[in-house]
Each structure stands twice: as C-alpha cells, then as structure tokens.
Structure 1
Amino acid sequence: MASDLLSIAASGARAARAALDVTAQNIANASSDGYVRRSARMSEVSAAGGQGRIGDISLSGARVSGIHRNADMFRQAEVRRTNSDLERANTELRGLENIEAAVEQSGIYDSIVEFEAALQQLSGDPGNPSLRAAVLAGADTLASKFNIAVDSLDAAGEGLRFDAAAAVEEANVIGEELARVNLRLSRAGEGSSDRASLLDQRDALLEKMSGIVDISTSFAPDGAVTVTTGGSTMVDGGQSAALTMTEAADGTIAFQLGGADIAPAGGSLAGAALALESATGVRARLDTLADEVAGTVNAAQANGVAFDGSPGQPIFAGAGAAGIRVVATQGSAIATAPAGAPAGSIDGSNLAALRQALGTADLAGTANGLLFDVSSAVSGRRVTRDALDAIASSARISLEQQAGVDLDTEAANLMRFQQAFQASGRAMQVASDIFDTVLGLR
C-alpha cells in the first residue's frame, strides 16, 4: 500500500512539475510574436490486477501525455485571409497615391490653363512680340510638364516593380523554410515541445506568406502543410516551387509558379499588379492628352501663316507625353493670321480658330477629369483599406484572445500546480511515514 502511494504521489509530483514548466514557458513568451499558449495534457495511469492481486485494482497515478497548443485552425486561416486582403489594399493604395502625386504635382492642368490664357492675351495684340514669346514659353512649359509627369509615373512604377521583385524573393525564402519545417515535423515526437515550437514557426511563416500572396493550406496529421496559390502547389512536403515575376513592355507584371502562370488575388503582389495596371492606364490617358494638345495646335498652325508671311509650321513635335516637345524657336512662328495674309498681318482670325479648337477639345477639362479619376480611385481604395484593416484587426484580436497568453490565467495556474506539487509531496511524506510505521511493528 505504501509503495503504491509513494509511486502515485511521485507521478503526481512529476506531472505538476511539468505543468509548472509549461506555465513558466507561457509567461516567459507572453510577448513573443507568433507564440501560441501551451498546456500540459494529463492522463491517468492505471492497471488492473497483478501477481498475487488478481481482481484487485492497482492505481498507478498520472502522467503528462503531451504538450497541447491552444491553436484554432479556423481563426488562424481567417487571420491569413484578412491579412492577405489588407496587404493587397495597402500596396495598391500606396501605388495609387504615388500615381496621384505624379500627375497632380506635375502641374499639367495649370500649364494648359496658362497656355490658353497666353493665347487669349495674344489675341488682343497679335503682333506683340512679347506676347508671342509668352505663348511659346507657355507651350514649352506645357511640354515639360507632360515629360515630368511621365518621369514621375515611371519612377512610381519602378518602385512598385522593385518592391514586388523583393516580395517574390521573400516568398521563395519562406517557401523553402516551410519545406524544411515540414521535414522536421515528420521527425518530431507527437505532443513534444519541439513539435509545438515547429508548429509555431510554421504558422508564423504561413502568415508572412499570406501577406505576399493569397494562399490555401491543407495539413497532414503530423502538422506538415501543403501550400497552394493560384491553383498551383507552392509547398508540398519537403519540396517548394519557385515563384518568378516577368515584366511586360507596358510596365505591368505577371507571375509564374513552377513555370505555370498564376494571378494572385491577394497579398502585396496582387496590390502591386493592380497599381501598375492603373499606372499604365494613366500613362495612356496622358499620351492621348499630349497628342491632342500637339495635334490641335499643329493643325491650326498648318491653316495659317507666321508673322513673316511664311506658311505656319508645327509648334510641337514628338509623340506621347514622354516625347512631346516644342520645336518652334521664335514667337514670330505662331500662325495668328489666316493663309494668304501678308507679312506683318495683325489679322488674328487663325489664332481665334486655334482658341476655338482648344475650347472644343476641352483639354483643361480632360486634364481635370484625369486628376479627378485618380483622386477618386485613391479615395475609394482608402475607404476599402480602412474597412479591411478593421476586419483584419478583429480577426487578429479574436485569435490572440484564443491562442495568446493571459498572464492572469497563468498566475492562477502557477498557484494551482504549485499546490498540486506540494500535495503530491505531502502524499509521499505520508507514504514514507506509513512505511516506517510498518517497519517498526514487532
């Protein structure tokens, strides 16, 4: 009897000590990123009968059957999903803000207005050389603003592509690390603290990956994860497929996984792709606007004569916002007079036709519409981002409440397991006293 009591009490002391160790581990890692609360899983150890005790019940105490991670697969999947959506929105918003700055700060709208104002002033005195020079200077400024806008757009696109390339490299590193974790999980003991640490590492890597590209996961009984994205497998067992990025001629980007084309729907890569598509659209509209400015002015020039009576020559040359430039060198080259007018004519009818053509084309309105559309897109994406941020924060809070360390709970566990340890020690003392008493019987 005393020997049974002693072994039972010893097993209880060992179990209580293990639970105290796990509690101390939780407290120590309360602020560690990605740490999931552990608990010692206890189970009864009992055996019936034995030699000389057939039909008797032999109680054998308790044991620690494993270390349990307080993880919720659904909440973790929700955190990954919402994180992927949020990173896509953040990246796209940053790209659109840079696009907005490139168009707005270039001052294209103001330059168009100033160019038309210079033409209006010249219409009051078509022969004034100072006013002619002012018109030519306004045209040169307008062309420069288009060039600046395109350069700024190119810089914004280059930044997006650079960040996307860095994210692709990071995704490949994470994929390789996940493959290594899978291999280590296959060798880790069931319910061991090593397995719990590996599972924490696995979940942290999956969350990082979800911020780069949207992923789907499936888990094996040993905890190994299979990761897919865009319908292609990224990590399977100890193998990971390479993610690559290609750049099209228009600056947009595409992705391949193991050689197969994929179209990410979430993560920073999806956001970068969306922002670059927007940049390409804005660039096309700037090119159209620049060509319309040059075409309208040059067409009016062809219908009139310069101040020296020679046929009107183009003021602008080049194609698109990047190529537009002023080729006229003298203010006298502005064809204010109609065809057939003599040299020195102050007939401004062709200038009036040019102003009317510019008014009909409504170039300032087109530039303003472009600015409005870009600003509206930024405003709309900001609202979406804020909503996704709230959703992602809610998902994370829910996970942390379920899987995180609550110091109040751990403090209570310290007292509970300490008392269990002391009680088991007292039981061992009682067993020792009984044994001594038995030995002392005569």
Structure 2
Amino acid sequence: MSLSGALSNALSGLRASSAAARVTGSNLSNALNETFTRREIRLEQNSVTGGVRFAGVTRAANPLVLSDWRLANTRSSSAELESASTSRVFASFGLTGDVNSLETKLTEFETSLVAAATRPDLTPRLDSVAYAAKDVASKLNDIGASIQAERSNADAQIKNRVERTNTILKDIETVNERLASLRDDSESVVSLLDQRDALLDDLSSITDIRVFERDNNRIAVYSVGGASLIDGKAAVLEFEPSGQITAGMSLAAGDLKQITIAGEPMPASGSGGRFVGGELGALFDIRDKTAVTAQREVDAFAFDFAQRFNDPALDPSRGPTDLGFFTDAGVVVDAANIDGFSNRIRVNLAIDLNAGGNSQLLRDGLLSGGGGDPGNASLVQGLRDSMTTSGVISFGSFAGTSMSLVNLVSGVGSVLATSKTQSEAVLASSNAQKSVLTNVKAERGVDSSTELQRLMAIEKAYAANAQVIRTVDEMLDTLLGAV
C-alpha cells in the first residue's frame, strides 16, 4: 500500500471513529430516556479513495416488538379504565358486612321490623323502622347516582381523548412532512423517528391502531376498525358530550353522541366499531354497556324491594292505585318506568319523619289516619315477612326466578362483584403482557456497560488511525530529509 493510500485510509478511520464516538455518546446521554431508541453508525466501503465512508445513523428498533407493545398498551389502558369503573360501582354497593353497604342497610331495616313487631305499641321502635326504610332508599339513590356519575364522567372523558387524539395526529402529520424533506442518511431523521414513535405509543393508549409505511419515511395510521386517522393529512375527530346523563338516555334513542370524522358517524364498538379497544373503547363501553348493566341490576332490586312492601294485600287501608310505603319520587311505582328507579325511590312522605310523617302509620295503615290498636302487629309483621318470603323477580339477571329479598340483594352484589373481578383479571393479564413486552423493548435500548465498552473500542481505533497518520508523517519527513 502506498503512503497516500495508508494516509487516506487512516483519515477515513478517524472520521468514522469520530462519528461513532458522537453516536455512542448520544446513546449514553439518553440511557434513561424511555422514548430514545439506541443508535448505530452505518459505514460503507469507499470504493474511490479506499477506507470507509460514514453512511448515516440507524435505529436499533424492532417494528414487530413495537407493534406488539402498542397492542398490549391498548389492552392495558382499556382494562385500567374498565377495572377502575367497576370497582367504584361495587364500592358504592358495598361489601357484605360493610357499615354502609346496601346489604347492611337492608339487615338493619329487617332488624327494626322484628323489634317493632314484638312491641308495636312503642313509637320509638316504629320510628326506627321509618328511619331504616329511608336509609335503604337513600342507599339505593346513592348507588344509582354513582352509576350515572360513571356514565357522565365517561362521556366527558371521551371528549378529552378526542382532543388528545387530534393533537397527536396533527403532530404526526408535522413529523411526516419534516421527514419527507430530509435525506435518509441525515442524523435528524432518527430523532424525528423517535419523536413519531413516542406519539404512536401515546396514541395506542387511546385506541387500537395499525401503522402502514409510506414513501419518504412517512406513515399512515388507521384504527383497527378501519377509520383513517392519518394518510397524508390528519383526520379531525369530533365529539359532542351530552352533559349530565340520566338512566334512560342511550345511544340508540339519540340521547348520546358518537365520534364523527368529516360528519360521518364512527361507531365505537360492536359490529363495525371503528374505535374498539384502548381508552376510547373502554369509555364508550362504560357509558353504553357496563354501567347500563349495573344500573339495570340495581333498578331491578329497587323495584322488587318497593313492590314487596307496596303490596295492597299487606295494608287494608290502601287501594290498588294508592301510594305505597315506597314511591317513585312521590308517584306510584310503575314497572313501565323502571329505568333509573333506584335513583328515584323514596319513602312515602306520610311516614317520612324528616318531612313531618307519622311512623304509627306503619302499624295502623298508610291511609288509616292513625289511632289504631297499638298492640296490633299484623301489618308490621307482614312487612317483615316480605323480606324473607320468596317472590318471582320481574327484572334484571334474576328475572323469572323465585327469591327472597335477602337472597336477591346477595345476587345483585354477586353480579357486580363478578364484573369487578373479571375486569381486574383482564387488567392483571394485560399488565403482565405489557410488562414482558416492555422488557423486550428495553433490551433493544441503551445498555450503559455495552456502550462504554464500545466507546473504549472506538478510542483504540481512533488512536490506531492517529498512529498511522503520525507514522506516515514521520516517513514523509525522513524521505524529504534525504533529498
């Protein structure tokens, strides 16, 4: 090899070592940056002058791992919202034995009826029945309000996720345009690719996405349901929240809204759903499915509870169309208006002590006017028997089944607990899968020890090339000195 060839090779080696040191240093400085993907220098043989040529920087990214991680992130994000919602609903219902659980309130009501039946002449015992009855109704109101709060909150959060999605899509569009204007070997490209991957990771928590490569390093993004989110220009998602949601409101009835793109409705779930999975899918499911199911179960219990105590056969002073011991916000309870009944169940004002009612009507009859036989326990005993006697359930999961009120409240609690347990199991499974893939993803990240070893090797290579240059310089000096 000629001296000029050796010098050229050594100089190209110095340039390559300098570029490698810069890339390795960047890796080390970003070792704790979770959105950073490890860089690798790309060298090519220089067929013209010999030596090597710096050909750019590549990222050590695995598209399949990224795709799997985003899918796991989608499922985990969805499961987290679903689990939190079912947990809150069940908490409002209460665990067996909890002081404020519905089952405890029902037990206290039964206990008060037993005590009053043994001494119906004691007004304090009748007062206890009136207060306990109101406690049960109030607890049902609280559970119903909690469920509707879940629906209203989900509706509001959908708007938030739609706004976030629009921001992310616009940012991806900007990155796409910048990437298209750069050469593939530009070091700026890898930074922009990292930025775009971080945006896609964030988007995957909102909805399940599919990413497609386009020319000039650009990408297109579609939802798993086929909605075009960005393919050139970013789509603009629109959603109008409904505000305070009540039990009877539904998507089918036109009371609730769905996402639209350019005026076209985008169903969130079910057959043809465009935004299945992720936070958006979970929020629509909470608003339109899981919370609705929970409301139906609690309404079914509230209706059966009221009807047992409103049976005209228990109270001879009442007619079939008169108000019973429990009302629908002051009117007669009607099976045709069961939606949201748990929110509206009230104690009849005639026995509501806080409204000036008379607890003796529990013994004498609602329309008796009071003053009956103080030792007559037949009505109070009949009310107590209504709790333990089996009756055919009209609505909910147990419709058509003959159950006592005590068994029914346990059954409804079991339904809500099962929903909570199942959502927690899905969350645990999703988080476990995401954790595994996060570790796999991290394996292609920056390992400080490896990068330091690489930096030491680069230093040796740099020193070796520098030594070649010094040796050539000395040889040239010797030759010139000999002339």
Q: Does 1:356 align with 2:385?
A: yes
The 3-state SS of whatever aligns with 2:390 is helix
Amino acid at match of 1:315: F
Match of 2:55 among 61, 65, 73: 65
Deviates more, 1:252-261 or 1:410-419: 252-261
1:362-419 Cα shifts (integer Å, max 9, x gaps): 22322222222212222222222112111111111111102x0111211111121112
Q: Which residue number in structure 2 is paired with residue 77 of structure 1? A: 67
In 1, are the aligned partners of 2:159 and 2:241 still within 8 Å (CA)?
A: no
> Which structure: greater helix fraction?
1
Q: Could you tell me which of 359, 370, 375 is aligned with 2:417? A: 375
Taking the TM superposition and a 5 Å limit, the aligned residue runs for 1:392-407 are: 392-402=434-444, 404-407=445-448
Query: Is structure 2 residue 429 aligned with structure 1 residue 387?
Result: yes
Deviates more, 1:269-278 or 1:88-97: 269-278
Query: Deviation at 1:75?
Result: 0.6
1:53 maps to none
- The partner residue of 1:284 within 296, 302, 310 is 296
Shift of 1:293: 2.2
Which letter maps to 1:147?
N
1:417 aligns with 2:427: no
1:275 partner amino acid:
I
Residues 39, 69 of structure 1: 8 Å contact kept: yes
Structure 1 letter corresponding to 2:463: Q
- 1:302/1:312 contact within 8 Å kept: no
Q: SS at 1:388's partner residue? A: helix
Find the counterpart in structure 1 of residue 337 from structure 2.
none
Aligned position for 1:321: 342
Aligned to 2:398: none
The answer for the alignment partner of 1:222 in structure 2 is 216
Q: CA deviation at 1:312?
A: 8.1
Amino acid in the other structure paired with 2:418 = S
Secondary structure, counterpart of 2:459 in structure 1? helix
2:286 aligns with 275
* Structure 2 partner of 1:120: 114
Partner of 2:354: none
CA deviation after TM superposition for structure 1 residue 108, in Å: 2.1
Partner Cα distance (2:81, 2:452) in 1 = 42
SS in structure 2 opposite 1:42? strand
The answer on whether the counterparts of 2:83 and 2:420 sit within 8 Å (CA) in structure 1 is yes
- Are 1:42 and 1:63, in contact at CA under 8 Å, matched by a contact in 2? yes
Cα distance in 1, alignment partners of residues 87 and 15 from structure 2: 61
Q: 1:20 to 1:313 in 2, by over 3 A?
A: closer
Which one of the candidate residues 219, 225, 241 is aligned to 2:236? 241
Q: C-alpha root-mean-square deviation of aligned residues, in Å?
A: 2.7
Q: Does residue 161 in structure 1 map to residue 155 in structure 2? A: yes
- SS at 1:112's partner residue? helix
TM-score (normalised: structure 2): 0.81
Say if 2:326 is the partner of 1:332: no
Who wins on radius of gyration, i.e. which is larger?
1
Query: How much has 1:253 moved relative to structure 2?
Result: 6.8
Alpha-carbon distance change, 269 to 97 in structure 1, aligned in 2, over 3 angstroms: same
Q: Distance in 1 between matches of 2:366 and 2:222?
A: 69
Name the structure 1 match of 2:187: 193
Per the TM alignment, residue 288 of structure 1 is displaced from its structure 2 partner at its CA by 2.2
State the 1:187 CA deviation: 0.8
The residue that corresponds to 2:82 in the other structure is 92
Give SS of 1:265's match.
coil
Q: Does 1:344 align with 2:339?
A: no
Partner residue of 2:400? none
Deviations 1:181-222 (A, max 9, x none): 111110122122100000001111111111111111111243
Q: Provide Cα deviations, 1:137-179, integer angstroms capped at 9, x if missing partner.
A: 2222222222222223333333333333322221211111111
**In structure 2, distance between residues paired with 1:299 and 1:424:** 100
Amino acid at match of 1:295: Q
Deviation at 1:343, TM superposition (A): 6.4
Equivalent position of 2:336 in the other structure: none
| Structure-1 residue corresponding to 2:472 | 431
Structure 1 pair 225/95, CA: closer, same or farther in 2 (3 Å)? same
- Percent identity between matched residues is 25
CA distance, structure 2, for counterparts of residue 243 and residue 410 of structure 1: 46
1:343 to 1:284, Cα distance in 2 relative to 1, 3 A:
same
Instruction: Output the CA distance in 1 between the equivalents of 2:193 and 2:367.
Output: 83
User: Does the 8 Å CA contact 2:37/2:446 hold for their aligned counterparts?
Assistant: yes
Greater mean alpha carbon deviation, residues 183-192 or residues 156-165: 156-165
In the alignment, what sits opposite 1:28?
A: 29
In structure 2, what residue type is equivalent to 1:316? F
**Distance in 2 between residues matched to 1:118 and 1:432, nearest whole Å:** 106
Residues 179/349 of structure 1: CA separation in 2 closer, same or farther (3 Å cut): same
User: Do 1:253 and 1:273's aligned partners in 2 also have CA atoms closer than 8 Å?
Assistant: no
Whole-angstrom CA distance in 2 between matches of 1:119 and 1:301: 18
Q: Distance in 2 between matches of 1:338 and 1:194?
A: 82
Mapped to 1, the partners of 2:291 and 2:217 lie a distance apart of 43
d(CA) in 2 for partners of 1:253, 1:338: 45
Worse overlay, 317-326 or 429-438: 429-438
Deviations 1:210-256 (A, max 9, x none): 11111111112432121111211111124333253655724977434
Q: 1:120 to 1:227 in 2, by over 3 A?
A: same
How big is the shift at 1:33? 2.1
What TM-score, normalized to structure 1? 0.88
Displacement of 1:127 in angstroms is 4.0
Counterpart contact for 2:239–2:257, Cα < 8 Å: no
Note the 1:136-151 alignment, pairs <5 A. 136-151=130-145
Question: What's the offset of the Cα at 1:129?
Answer: 2.9
Local SS of the residue matching 1:146: helix
Q: Distance in 1 between matches of 2:238 and 2:165?
A: 7
